[in-house]
Amino acid sequence: MLSYNPLEEPDTIAEIVQKLPLEVLDKFCWINSTWYKEIQHELRRRWKIQVLEYQKLDNEQELEMEEVERKYPNDEFMQGYLHCEIWGTYIKRELEEAKKQVEIESYMLRNGMLYEQEKEMHASEYVKGMEKLSKLAGLDHQNAIVFSVLNGEIKTIENKLDEYYSRFEKLERTVDWIGNYVEEQTGLEPDKELTDSSDSDYAPPE
């Protein structure tokens, strides 16, 4: 008579694999066909979560940028400045989500868990993501793909991000300087009306 082994039950295995890291799933998927199937389901589930998280961040970023354009429809300077701030806020979070997604895909591909049609779908999603990352980083598309395979695109974009932050800081200092200069010349302080000074010829525009 065969003894009952809960570790051969699909429901039990499904609960276990939800708590295991990727590197362990990579090894356990070859225990038997039941483990393989449940781990395949788990990797698909995690992949879908990462796709949705990335899309959520992307949509939030687009909405914030559109709000800036509505608020400053004729001010390209403010649009550019605020767009850069929004981009800087979201890019690292998007990179982390994209990195997790690619990592899951690599385990699925390595263990033959994607059918041909799914491979094309994942490749299409991957290319779309890399096109966006390459555009943001100022890289051409082919270089972005090469860097992604070598996992070098993350470092490249982070370097670009550091460069942009330096530019933002310089721009902020310039804006502060202009504000101080205007205040000295006109007596106009932030959030206050012009001072009534007989020594000043400054007047607000008609």
Asked if the structure places residue 114 within a domain, the reply is yes
Better-scored residue on pLDDT, 196 or 88: 88
Angstrom distance (rounded) from CA 86 to CA 68: 10
Query: Whose CA is closest to 43, among 14, 72, 64?
Result: 14
* 146 domain residue, yes or no: yes
Q: Assess if residue 4 is contained within a domain.
A: no
Q: What is the DSSP letter of 6?
A: G
Least confident of 34-38, 119-123, 173-177, 194-198: 194-198
CA dist list (Å): 128 to 87, 123, 144: 18, 9, 11
Assigned domain for 167 exists: yes
pLDDT score at 164: 58
Q: Is residue 192 part of a domain?
A: no
Distance separating alpha carbons of residues 109 and 103, to the nearest angstrom: 10
The predicted-structure confidence for 41-64, as pLDDT tens digits, reads as follows: 999 999 999 889 988 998 999 999
Q: How confident is the model at residue 204 (pLDDT cuts 50, 70, 90)?
A: very low
Q: How many CA atoms lie within 13 A of 198 on its CB side?
A: 0
Domain that holds residue 127: 9-184
- Average pLDDT, whole number, for the chain? 73
Query: What are the tens digits of pLDDT across the range 161-171?
Result: 666 556 666 66
Contact between residue 112 and residue 26 where contact means Cβ atoms under 8 Å apart: no
Q: What is the chain's length?
A: 206
Q: How far is CA 108 from CA 8, 37, 119, 160, in A?
A: 22, 12, 10, 31
3-state SS class at 183? helix
* Structural tokens at position 192: 């206050």
Say what the pLDDT of residue 118 is. Answer: 55
Residue 149 falls within a domain, yes or no? yes
* Residue 111 resides in a domain: yes
> DSSP code of 72?
S
At 34, which amino acid appears?
A: T
H-run or E-run covering 7: none
Asked if the structure places residue 202 within a domain, the reply is no
Grade residue 25 by pLDDT with cuts at 50, 70 and 90.
Answer: very high
Q: What is the pLDDT of residue 76?
A: 83
User: How many structural domains is the chain composed of?
Assistant: 1
